[in-house]
Structure 1
Amino acid sequence: MPASNPMMDSPSHLLVPFAAASAPECRALLPEMRLPNLTALLGELTLGTSLNGDDHEFTPPHERALAHTLGLGLHDDGAIPWAAAEDPHPDRPQAWFTPCHFQVGMDQVTLYSAESLGLSDDHARPLFEALAPYCQEDGITLHYASATRWHAEGEPLRHLICASLDRVSGRSVADWTAPGQADNPGAQLIKRLQSEAQMLFYTHAINDQREAARLPIINGFWVHGAGAVGHARIASGPTPIVCDNLRQSAINGDWATWRKAWETLDTEQIPSLLESARSGQMVMLTLCGERHATTWNNASPRSAFSRLGQAIKTLRGKTPAWKQLDTL
């Protein structure tokens, strides 16, 4: 998924990943949440498109919704080429490599990405420089974009199926390994590179420093956003701002912090959309859970029947926002 941009291309379209989650602890919180501005905004808008899926898809709803909005078209699950989409040469096969800590437990291996570990450039760059020559030998050129994102380019990346980092972070790796890749040479090559990185990083001096500082070692990397853009983009609407305020607390399973982040979002960012909607400006809101992404808008004039329904809703009281979140 593209890196978040704090500047809005379209101030009137807000896309919110992790607006709800499937964890029972999150679902239990929803009825207690008071989001008055979101409730009022949804009351001003009309239900638009929905992208439906399930918790087990490699591509989460917010990535599918964003790809649709950016005109990247429809892709197989786990095959949205985010790295290529951000490159001046999107027709070339590319991917993101994110350094990770793989925690080995009694019955599973859990991934924690560099983003959640606060990996610094001082620690990330030496590991990158150690891995890059091994990638080059296998036809993959590695470029250092940031501590948490290494840009990879090469033909072996063209047909990879990869689980989004947002799906696998904090979870068992076994649940997010693409099936049916045994005959894919690129997938086999990546698997071998991951094994080589594990051995290479394990003995690296940077990890000695991290262990001494009681920090999780970096013992591998995760590939995501792989592939190439094989067609011209056909943008389907204004580029939204992606609000990542809820992301890390949801990935960490910290639902108390997630709830506070939603309340802050309701206080600080939703009111401007509400004001725009009430003044007659076009407004779009896309809320994404772990299964579905749903968009509300005021793009089309309401029919007389719709206006009557809205009047009845107003008399009865507006539907609390949490009930909409519970459907995601």
Structure 2
Amino acid sequence: MLLLIPFAAPLSDAGRQALQSLQLPHLDALLSHWREAGRDAGDEASLSPPHERALARALGWSVSDGLIPWAAQDAAAAGLPADAAWGRLTPVHLLMGSDHIGLTDPQLLGLTEAESRELFDAAAELFTSEGFTLHWHGPLNWLVAHPLLEELPTAAPDRLIGHALHRDLPEQPRLLRRLLNEVQMLFFTHPLNATREMAGELPVNGLWLSGCGAAQPVTGTAPRVDERLRTPALNEDWDAWREAWAALDAEVIAPLAGGGEGDLVLCGERTALTLEAQPKRWWQRFAGPRAGRAAALLETL
């Protein structure tokens, strides 16, 4: 069994302070007899975050930055044509600056199915009139198909939530840029957003395109992904993040440290680190865990 933990380590100054005070006794114990089996090192400006790269590799996919076909996987699950190139459109609240772009966590929009479908119906004609196929797959997951999406690198939403991305994003085809700009104008005047703002909710002011490409065959086993660190990390709630890590350490890491089998992948903002169990040597049975070892390792991610 492969266990994957995204957002195990932050990079922000406040997040680093939270990490330094983190007490993870079971991960400390595990590290005394597990070994590093692989390290996918990158940087925080990559389009695909480490946890997405690790998940794709576990499925047996080839991985290119910004070209992991999550939308095609969703399309296959929905019984949609498998030979098309798909992308994922996420309704978002965009944070735009002169030299950067960011997103509010879409999960925090509280977008209902009815609201999402209303916006979907409003935007659909813009895309279908230009030869795109559109499919509503969930409140925050609209699927779009078009040949333009086959080799189109995009930034994962998780790269832009909670902080601005200060880098040149890949150039999108002119048709796509025009459509996404038209969607922004359409949503700006849509009555649903006026209703949301009157209720104290953020407006949906755009769509974010990601997860593009043609389907790849799944040749590996999907890992267990524990995402409890995601929301507090992306929203810089470091007290909640520490509490979530402590619970994860007690509930999930403890059984592994006690002799469980499998591999563990810890993912930060730059790096995904794979650990695998090793038989304890005789002297390790009497040696206690070294406190702080886990925090020191997490700082390398």
Q: TM-score, normalised by structure 2?
A: 0.90
Structure 2 Cα separation of the partners of residues 315 and 125 of structure 1: 56
Match of 2:37 in 1: 48
Match of 1:129 in 2: 121
**Distance change in 2, residues 1:232/1:317 (3 Å):** closer
Alignment of 1:122-201 (within 5 A): 122-172=114-164, 175=166, 177-179=168-170, 181=171, 187-201=173-187
Root mean square deviation, CA, Å: 2.3
**Structure 1 portions without partners, runs of 5+:** 1-11
Match of 1:3 in 2: none
Match of 2:256 in 1: 273
Structure 2 Cα separation of the partners of residues 30 and 160 of structure 1: 36
Match of 1:258 among 226, 241, 263: 241
Confirm or deny: 8 A CA contact 1:139 1:156 kept in the other structure: no
> Are 1:284 and 2:274 matched, yes or no?
no
Match of 1:295 in 2: 274
**Distance change in 2, residues 1:197/1:241 (3 Å):** same
Structure 2 Cα separation of the partners of residues 106 and 68 of structure 1: 35
Structure 2 Cα separation of the partners of residues 131 and 46 of structure 1: 50
**Structure 2 portions without partners, runs of 5+:** none
Please tell me the residue identity of whatever aligns with 1:23. Answer: S
Please tell me the residue identity of whatever aligns with 1:314. Answer: A
Please tell me the residue identity of whatever aligns with 1:196. Answer: E
Structure 2 Cα separation of the partners of residues 319 and 172 of structure 1: 31
> Are 1:242 and 2:225 matched, yes or no?
yes
SS at 2:43 equivalent: coil
Please tell me the residue identity of whatever aligns with 1:32. Answer: S
**Distance change in 2, residues 1:38/1:232 (3 Å):** same
Please tell me the residue identity of whatever aligns with 2:287. Answer: T
Sequence identity (%)? 37
Structure 2 Cα separation of the partners of residues 207 and 256 of structure 1: 32
Match of 1:111 among 103, 108, 112: 103
Match of 2:27 among 24, 32, 38: 38
Cα offset for 1:59?
Answer: 0.6
Match of 1:5 in 2: none
Confirm or deny: 8 A CA contact 2:115 2:192 kept in the other structure: yes
Please tell me the residue identity of whatever aligns with 2:233. Answer: A
- How many pairs are equivalent? 297
Match of 2:298 in 1: 325
Structure 2 Cα separation of the partners of residues 31 and 114 of structure 1: 29
Confirm or deny: 8 A CA contact 1:43 1:318 kept in the other structure: no
